[in-house]
Amino acid sequence: MKMKAIAAALALASASASAQTYNVEPNHTYPSFEAGHLGISVWRGKFTRTSGSVTLDRAVKNGTVDIAIDPASISFGHAKLEEHTRSKDFFNVEQFPQITYKGKISKWSGDAPAAVEGEMTLLGVTRPLNLTINSFKCITHPLLKREVCGADASGAFKRSDFGMKYGLPLHGDDMKLAIQIEAIKAD
């Protein structure tokens, strides 16, 4: 019985040695969101500064996601709205200069990750937020000559769950989140 436990531990250690780390490429990663405005339209915005890493262990089909977003980088294409959403009414970027997402890849479809179970911290509040990975692909980057992986992920949450209640109910509570991400295999 003891030999089986040792063999299982060695197999797990060997499989875990195949985990690869990928660093988020900030010029190709843009978390975006949409929410209702006055019940008559949908406003969309994105964050232009993101960092973090993803680990993948394809042998045992697991991995992690660790992302940091700079909420001051919010972009709507509307300067007054951007200024207002940086204020205490919404993202309160002076007091909370970072949004984080940490999760574990929880589902695979063949050899590709398909879902992440995680938590988002926004305005100092941490809540569960699961993501569906809608597409995932890795290639050898033609210029960098290293593996790069890209994904499109989505999820949803209520902003009021994080204490962001300004303008409710006229300005929508339900937030749709979309994340386009590219990450380069670390050396």
Residue 41 CB neighbours (<10 A): 8
pLDDT tens track for 26-56? 999 999 999 888 888 888 999 999 999 999 9
| Per-residue pLDDT, 187 | 81
String of DSSP letters for 10-68: HHHHHHHTT-EEEEE-GGG-EEEEEEEETTTEEEEEEES-EEEEEEEETTTTEEEEEEE
Question: Which ranges in 43-166 belong to alpha helices (H)?
Answer: 79-86
CATH architecture of the domain with range 19-185:
Beta Barrel (2.40)
**Whole-angstrom Cα distance, residue 101 to residue 118?**
7
Mean pLDDT of the chain: 90
pLDDT of 120 over the 60 cut:
yes
For the chain, the residue count is 187
Q: What are phi and psi of 164, to 5 degrees?
A: -90, 95
| Per-residue pLDDT, 161 | 97
The model's confidence at residue 14, banded by pLDDT at 50, 70 and 90, is: very low
In percent, how much of the chain has pLDDT > 90?
78
User: Which region, left, alpha or beta, applies to residue 185 given φ > 0 means left and ψ of -120 to 50 means alpha?
Assistant: beta
| Position with higher pLDDT, 18 vs 128 | 128
pTM for the whole thing? 0.86
| Per-residue pLDDT, 13 | 46
pLDDT of 169 over the 50 cut:
yes
pLDDT tens track for 121-154? 999 999 999 999 999 999 998 988 999 999 999 9
| Position with higher pLDDT, 6 vs 145 | 145
Beta-carbon-side half-sphere exposure of residue 41 (alpha carbons within 13 Å)? 2
Three-state DSSP class for residue 172:
coil
| Per-residue pLDDT, 171 | 87
| Per-residue pLDDT, 130 | 98
Which amino acid, 103?
G
pLDDT tens track for 49-76? 999 999 999 999 999 999 999 999 999 9
Q: CB of 147 within 8 A of CB of 140?
A: yes
| Per-residue pLDDT, 36 | 84
Map out the domains of the chain as residue ranges. Answer: 19-185
Q: CB of 48 within 8 A of CB of 75?
A: yes
**Whole-angstrom Cα distance, residue 62 to residue 55?**
8
- Residues 6 or more apart whose CB falls under 8 angstroms from that of 97 comprise 70, 71, 72
